[in-house]
Amino acid sequence: MIALGLEGSANKLGVGIILHPSEGGSAQILANIRHTFVSPPGEGFLPKDTAKHHRIWVVRLVQQALKEAGITFDDVDCVCYTKGPGMGAPLQGVAVSARMLSLLWDKELIGVNHCIGHIEMGREITGAQNPVVLYVSGGNTQVIAYASQRYRIFGEALDIAVGNCLDRFARTLSISNDPAPGYNIEQLAKSGKHLLDLPYTVKGMDCSFSGILASIDVLAARLKKDIGGWKDEVSGENITREDLCFSLQETIFAMLVEITERAMAHVGSNQVLIVGGVGCNERLQQMMSIMASERRGSVFATDERFCIDNGIMIAHAGLLAYRTGFSTALADSTCTQRFRTDEVLIKWRD
């Protein structure tokens, strides 16, 4: 079976084509194409501008994906799209495109939960069996474990997502959004040396990032104001914006490691799977690996092809559901900005 997947819940438009062999075995990625809407430094991406980008690019990306896969629309069994969660206007554009392809090609339509797409693609690529999942992105922060055909949320962000915290701080420093603000913060943080004191807000299994963002914004304003140099009290060296990026990363990643470890202890798992765009961060992977090794466990993560939003994860999760008999009627092919991970019945797992 072959599925085509469309992802466009935020500023990345992805088209993926995947093959599930009829005799079983690993899925085969036939095409995985992505195009990103990049806003100017110091600015975020507005829903209307992002949706316009998706509408402009979707047809040519579908054509390019079919060409790269070496197939025609006759070979496709179903068209999958991101039903939610995400930004309203971009989601609507992708849903309309998916309906158009479904009607034009006379193919079944499959609405997919964005978070489930990340998890199932991560499991497929890494081979993780039954891990605790840390899902970290610009719009979501969740610690998840599987039980009784649901991905259960053990902990989550109480306010803004970890990726949103990083993105908004990048705007404060007017860091470039190309290729991604979080990636550019990661590169600056590698040169940071001084760990500044920031709020550490873990409440049970949940985290809060808005207070940390407010505090680091205050420090950034101080850095800009102190023209003569803001000195570290211990070393006497100047505090730099690299130090701010370093301090922010170390603090928020330590919080994520803490709640993930607590979930591992609760469910008795020795595996961690990191998914979502922030999951590309090498420092987060390193910190999680230290924790997991102390528990005699292991960490699984993917590279930017699969961590960052992509169409292939939607195609894969959609095809898993389609093989169980699931499909989305045209009248139900809506999208929603709020679509929780634990709302989806995972019929393809025991």
Decide if pLDDT at 226 tops 90. Answer: no
pTM score: 0.96
| Alpha-carbon span 15 to 68, nearest angstrom | 11
For the stretch 184-212, pLDDT in tens is 999 999 999 999 999 999 999 999 999 99
For the stretch 136-157, pLDDT in tens is 999 999 999 999 999 999 999 9
Q: If pLDDT is split at 50, 70 and 90, which confidence band does 232 have?
A: confident
For the stretch 253-266, pLDDT in tens is 999 999 999 999 99
Q: If pLDDT is split at 50, 70 and 90, which confidence band does 43 have?
A: very high
| Alpha-carbon span 310 to 276, nearest angstrom | 10
> What is the 3-state secondary structure of the chain?
CEEEEEECCCCEEEEEEEECCCCCCCCEEEEEEEEECCCCCCCCCCHHHHHHHHHHHHHHHHHHHHHHHCCCHHHCCEEEEEEECCCHHHHHHHHHHHHHHHHHHCCEEEEEEHHHHHHHHHHHHHCCCCCEEEEECCCCEEEEEEECCEEEEEEEECCCCHHHHHHHHHHHCCCCCCCCHHHHHHHHHCCCCCCCCCCCCEECCEECCHHHHHHHHHHHHHHHHCCCCCECCCCCCECCHHHHHHHHHHHHHHHHHHHHHHHHHHHCCCEEEEECHHHHCHHHHHHHHHHHHHCCCEEEECCHHHHCCCHHHHHHHHHHHHCCCCCCCHHHCCCCCCCCHHHCCCCCCC
> In this structure, what are the phi and psi dihedrals at residue 197, rounded to the nearest 5 degrees?
-75, 120
pLDDT of residue 234: 85
